[in-house]
A = this chain, B = another copy of it.
Amino acid sequence: MSVLVVGTVAFDAIETPFGKTDKIIGGSGTYIALTASYFTKSVNLVGVVGEDFLQSDIANFQQHGINTKGLQVKEGEKSFFWAGRYHNDLNTRDTLATDLNVLADFDPIIPEAYQDCKYLMLGNLTPEVQQTVLNRLNQRPELVMLDTMNFWMNEPFLPSLKEVIKQVDVLSINDEEARMLSGEYSLVKAAKSILAMGPTYLIIKKGEHGALLFNNDQIFFAPALPLEEVFDPTGAGDTFAGGFLGHLAQTQDHSFNNMKRAVIYGSAMASFCVEKFGPERLMNLSADTLEERVQEFVDLVQFEIDYA
C-alpha cells in the first residue's frame, strides 16, 4: 500500500571512533524512504535538495522503487548539510555544522499523484512543515506517523509541535525527548502523559537499549540487537521508523499484535543501519538477509513458560 514520506534529504559528514566520511547522502527522508522500500513498492518521497545533489543519489532512490516526483531540486542553492562527531560511547555526539540551505524556506509541495497515499510518515522537520503537509492532503491517510526531535520541544516551536502531534496516530521519539516533552522521568508516566496529548500509539526509542511501543495500557518492548560493533548510529531512528511504517503498509493490519511485529522489523532494519557509515548498509539487502536478522530477534527474546 502506498506510503508518503516527507523528510530531509541531505548531505552528512560523519566522524565516529572508527573513521570519518566526506559528504554522504543522509537526512530523515532518505533513511525512511530507503527502508520502507524493502516493504512496499509504492514509496513516494517529498523533500528538497540543492543543485549540488547527485543525480546518482536520485537514481538510487528510483532504483529502490521510490517515486522522486516530490523531491524538489533548487537551482542555484545548496542541499541541507549536517556534520557531527560521535563520542567513544557512540551514544552522544557533537554537532559540528548545520547548514539549513534549501531547508530554510522548504515548501512541501505534494504532487497530485501522491494524494491517494494511505500511509504518511512525517520525518523530522519543523512542525510547521509537518502541519502544512497534513493540510495539503485532500483526505487524511489511514495512518499518520510522526518523528521529531528535542530541538522542536523548545520555544517558539513547542506549541506548533503539540498541535501537529494531536493529529497523528503514531509518534516516535527517543527517551530523552519523551522525558522533555512530558516533564516525567519515568518512561511509563511519560508515555501516559504523551498519549494524552493526542497520538494513539507512542514509540520511545532507546538506542542501544531498544524501543518501547505504548497504546493505552499495552506495552511492547523490543531490544536492539547486541552487536559486536556499532559503527555509525546516524539514521538508526529514521530507519526504525521506515521499517515500522513499511511493515504496516505492507500488511495493512493496524492491530497491536501486528504493530509488535512492525517494531521488530523496524529494529531489524535499524540493526543493519548502524553496521556501516550512513545509509550504506540499507542500499542492497536481500529478503533472506532480512529474514535471518528477524530470526535473530526471535532467538534473542523468545522463551516459553510452563506454569507448573
What is the interface of chain A, defined by CB distance below 8 A to chain B?
88-89, 185-189, 206, 209-210, 212, 218-223, 226-230, 257, 260-261, 263-264, 291, 294, 298-305, 307
Chain B residues whose C-beta falls within 8 Å of the C-beta of A187 in the assembled complex: 226
A228 touches B303 (CB 8 A): no
B261 touches A305 (CB 8 A): yes
A257 touches B303 (CB 8 A): yes
Q: Report how far A302 CA is from B257 CA in the complex, Å.
A: 9
Q: How many copies does the complex hold?
A: 2
Q: Report how far A209 CA is from B187 CA in the complex, Å.
A: 12
Q: Report how far A299 CA is from B186 CA in the complex, Å.
A: 20
Q: Report how far A188 CA is from B296 CA in the complex, Å.
A: 14
The minimal Cβ–Cβ distance linking A263 to chain B, given in whole angstroms, is 8
Q: Report how far A210 CA is from B208 CA in the complex, Å.
A: 12
Chain B residues whose C-beta falls within 8 Å of the C-beta of A209 in the assembled complex: 206, 209-210
B304 touches A301 (CB 8 A): no
A220-B301, A221-B300, A301-B302 are known; give 8 further A-B pairs, CB within 8 A. Answer: A186-B230, A210-B223, A219-B299, A222-B301, A257-B303, A261-B305, A291-B307, A302-B302
The minimal Cβ–Cβ distance linking A303 to chain B, given in whole angstroms, is 4
From B226, B264, B302, B304, contact of A188 by CB (8 A)? B226
From B219, B229, B261, contact of A226 by CB (8 A)? B219
Q: Report how far A206 CA is from B229 CA in the complex, Å.
A: 18
Q: Report how far A187 CA is from B89 CA in the complex, Å.
A: 12
Q: Report how far A303 CA is from B299 CA in the complex, Å.
A: 12
The minimal Cβ–Cβ distance linking A178 to chain B, given in whole angstroms, is 12
The minimal Cβ–Cβ distance linking A214 to chain B, given in whole angstroms, is 9
The interface centre, meaning the residue of A223, A294, A299 with most chain B CB atoms within 10 A of its CB, is A223
Given A206-B209, A261-B305: A220 touches B188 (CB 8 Å cut-off): no
The minimal Cβ–Cβ distance linking A179 to chain B, given in whole angstroms, is 10
Q: Report how far A248 CA is from B308 CA in the complex, Å.
A: 14
Q: Report how far A261 CA is from B291 CA in the complex, Å.
A: 25
B305 touches A88 (CB 8 A): no
Chain B residues whose C-beta falls within 8 Å of the C-beta of A291 in the assembled complex: 307
B294 touches A298 (CB 8 A): no
From B261, B298, B304, contact of A261 by CB (8 A)? B304
Given A188-B226, A212-B226: A305 touches B301 (CB 8 Å cut-off): no
Q: What are 14 residue pairs bridging A and B, where the CB atoms are less than 8 Å apart in the complex?
A: A88-B185, A186-B227, A186-B230, A187-B226, A189-B229, A210-B223, A219-B299, A257-B304, A260-B303, A261-B303, A261-B304, A264-B303, A291-B307, A298-B305
